[in-house]
Amino acid sequence: MGPQRHCKIVKKKDPRHRAREAALQILYQWDIGRGDVDRAAETFFSQQWPDADAPAAELRQFASTLAHDTVDRLEAIDPLIAETAERWRPERMAVLDRLILRMAICELQRDRGTPPAVVINEALELARTFSTEEAVKFINGMLDAIRKKIEKR
């Protein structure tokens, strides 16, 4: 008898989810390096892209645009986070949690075509991948409250 072989079924990630992961990584590089978001995107896709195949143009465009739009909207996004978090300024939050919140809020504000539940679920998946279970709960509560504020405007 030879060794048993187990086949693991790998679910292919949705291209939009992959693009959001890439946007988060671009934002992380931008935040840590205090550099230019476009340069961070170029560096990520040219030197840090984890797949053997280059990213599809649509994925690259979605990720780069989301990262860029998030940075462009920080003056509106960060006060919304601060007023919702009560006594927690965004700069005191864990870097990845703050970036996930910022990116999701950007999508909630600019993409009326994407249902808020989808945006929030994507943010929670990013938190499960890149942060902690406590962060998932925190981000869920924050985004639900922020979604309600955005809908009232």
Query: What CATH number was assigned to the domain covering residues 15-47+59-152?
Result: 1.10.940.10
pLDDT tens digit string along 23-59?
999 999 999 888 899 999 998 888 877 776 777 889 8
According to the model, what pLDDT value does residue 81 have?
A: 93
List Cβ neighbours of 109 (8 Å cut-off, separation of 6 or more): 73, 76, 77, 150
Whether the pLDDT of residue 91 is over 80: the answer is no
Give me the helices (H) in 3-132, please: 15-33, 37-43, 57-72, 74-85, 95-110, 116-130
Q: What pLDDT is recorded for position 7?
A: 40
Please give the mean pLDDT across all residues of the chain: 86
**Cα 62 to Cα 60: distance, rounded to the nearest angstrom:** 6
pLDDT value at residue 6: 42
What is the H or E stretch that residue 152 is in?
helix 133-152
Q: Are 82 and 90 in contact (CB under 8 A)?
A: yes
Rounded to the nearest 10°, the torsion over CA 133, 55, 61, 123 is -10
Q: Which of 3-7, 74-78, 95-99 has the lowest mean pLDDT?
A: 3-7
Highest mean pLDDT among 54-58, 76-80, 86-90: 76-80
Residue 146: which H helix or E strand, with range? Answer: helix 133-152
Query: 116-151 burial, b for 16+ CB within 10 Å, e for fewer?
Result: beebbebbbbbbeebbeeebbebbeebbeebbeeee
Tokens 């040219």 -> residue:
46
**Residue 12 binned pLDDT confidence (cut-offs 50, 70, 90):** low
